[in-house]
Chains A and B, each alone.
Chain A
Amino acid sequence: DTGVSQDPRHKITKRGQNVTFRCDPISEHNRLYWYRQTLGQGPEFLTYFQNEAQLEKSRLLSDRFSAERPKGSFSTLEIQRTEQGDSAMYLCASSPSGFAYEQYFGPGTRLTVT
């Protein structure tokens, strides 16, 4: 299977700890996106990469959040000093370049902050 993969699938952490999630996109896709989904809501856009360049960050992405995509392949999303409000599903998606191609989503990382 060559879909989008995310690791870990679940993460439980204590408030104040740092966590890092990884996303491996579909290999030929040069666009990569991070979304956050809370219970009963649709995914909300966090950030977007075109190859290794981070081209947009949502205002939802506070200073405690940082994302990277070195070499334009996999991406990491780090949350520093986690808060209970960070508990959510973090979804990664990828797509080819071009206008509004469909995005293919990974299975997500469910974060629980205790």
Chain B
Amino acid sequence: AQKVTQAQTEISVVEKEDVTLDCVYETRDTTYYLFWYKQPPSGELVFLIRRNSFDEQNEISGRYSWNFQKSTSSFNFTITASQVVDSAVYFCARTSGTYKYIFGTGTRLKVLA
């Protein structure tokens, strides 16, 4: 199966530490998109980023940054200077075809004060 793997089930860090969430995907598609979503305790999935397979430039948005490496099929997410409000489950996903998403199993991040 062409799956998305988030090997880290749960990570705990102390506030202000940097943390990287790993995502490795499998696909036979030549064109595809990758996504990260945040699911806070309230349950609603919040869109964070979309990246297409032709754009390997790293992206930074405030304390968030993403590292896409096509050669290793990885799309890792780093939070710099973590805060308690970052505590959530984070999901990586990729497209399957033109619209369907395949999600990973998620990484639960706990940021301790």
Contact = CB atoms under 8 A, between A and B. Distances in A.
Interface residues of B, number: 26
Contacts, number: 60
Contacts of B37: 105
A69 B102 CA distance: 23
B78 interface: no
A45 B4 CA distance: 14
B14 to A, nearest CB: 25
B98 A42 contact: no
Which of B35, B43, B105 has the most chain A CB within a 10 Å cutoff? B43
Interface string A38-56: 0011111100100000001
A92 B44 CA distance: 10
A100 B95 contact: yes
A89 B101 contact: no
B100 interface: yes
A41 B108 CA distance: 11
Interface in B86-113: 91, 93, 95-96, 98-106
Interface in A63-114: 89, 91, 93, 95, 99-108, 110
B43 A99 contact: no
Contacts of A93: 45
* Majority SS at the chain B contact face: strand
Contacts of B50: 100-102
Contacts of A107: 42-44
Contacts of A35: 101
A103 B105 contact: no
Given A100-B33, A102-B50, A43 B45 contact: yes
Given A42-B105, A100-B50, A102-B35, A56 B44 contact: no
Interface of B: 4, 32-33, 35, 37, 42-47, 50, 52, 91, 93, 95-96, 98-106
Interface of A: 31, 33, 35, 40-45, 48, 56, 89, 91, 93, 95, 99-108, 110
